[in-house]
Amino acid sequence: MARRLALDTSGTEYAMVLIEDGRCAGSVTWTRAGISAPAIVRLADLLSGAGWSPRDLDGVAAGRGPGSFTGLRVGLSLAAGLAYGRQIPLYLVDSLEMVAARARGQAASAVLRDAGRNEVYAWRRREGALRLPVQGIDAWLRPGDLVLVEPAGALLRWAPNRAGLEVPAGEQQPLSDAMVTIANEIFDHAKPVRYDELQALYSQPAAAEERKGNQP
């Protein structure tokens, strides 16, 4: 019997999922806005509700971003503490791959997540993540893309002529369900990371990348 935890705190919506033999045994989601119980308290409540304790966990998978710097620190620190305190495997997951899996039936081929400062994190399957100015979205997207957007509906504002590519909110499953799907793939096929390999995925602001490229 395999009992594992998957968590992601990179976006505006945080989630933790308990997975037993590949199936969801409990989950909790919340938003980072406003006053909220600490993640470790939510984890304790989630484990207790399932009748589990940290000693029951066989592995941990954590979203590595890109996303909120503070959120990623919270999630990765919690995952690392559990994994290395219990001496169980720790896996890292690209957060936007889990977001893409929210599309029902067929995973989205691309994801756009608000990165602030009039920029977005842009992810495409088999290409990884980068950071774009909003003005660059139209050129980056392809006609056949199926796009998951955070926040939902923002593509109409960012690139109005591409708005039809966005997966409607009614055709999305909960983040926790998507996490179970991707975490199971990671647990089954990926290699766990060592402590010195634990690193969040950050994408430089597009303006910073442009300045670096213009340096002699």
pLDDT, tens digit (0-9, with 9 covering 90-100), for 102-152:
999 889 999 999 999 999 999 998 898 999 999 999 999 999 999 999 999
Asked if residue 206 belongs to a domain, the reply is no
The answer to the question of residue 211 being in a domain is no
Residue 213 covered by a domain: no
Instruction: Give pLDDT tens digits for 60-108.
Output: 999 999 999 889 999 999 999 999 999 999 999 999 999 999 999 889 9
Q: Are residue 8 and residue 88 in the same domain, yes or no?
A: yes
**Inside any domain, residue 79:** yes
Say how far apart CA 59 and CA 81 lie, in whole Å: 12
Whether residue 178 contacts residue 102, with contact meaning beta carbons closer than 8 Å, is answered with yes
Collapsing DSSP to helix, strand or coil, 43 comes out as: helix
- The model's pTM is 0.89
- Whether 29 and 134 share a structural domain: no
User: Is position 205 within any domain?
Assistant: no
For residues 23-61, one letter each, b for 16 or more C-beta atoms within 10 angstroms of the residue's C-beta and e for the rest, the string is ebbbbbeeebeeeeeebeebbeebbeeeebeeebbebbb
Q: Identify whether residues 113 and 131 lie together within a single domain.
A: yes
Domain coverage including residue 69: 3-96+174-200
Please tell me whether residues 179 and 91 are part of one structural domain.
yes
CB atoms within 10 A of CB 196: 6
- Verify that 84 and 108 share a domain, yes or no: no
Summary mean pLDDT of the chain: 91
Asked whether the predicted pLDDT for residue 215 surpasses 80, the reply is no
Q: Does the residue 47 lie in any domain? A: yes
Answer yes or no: is 207 within a domain: no
Is residue 212 domain-resident?
no
Question: The domain spanning residue 180 has which CATH number?
Answer: 3.30.420.40
**195 and 151, same structural domain?**
no
Find tokens 């966005």 and name the residue: 166
The answer to whether residues 146 and 185 belong to one domain is: no
**Count of domains for the chain:** 2
Residue 55 reports pLDDT greater than 60: yes
Same domain, 87 and 180: yes
Instruction: Say whether both 20 and 73 belong to one domain.
Output: yes
- DSSP 8-state secondary structure symbol assigned to residue 166: B
Same domain, 25 and 36: yes
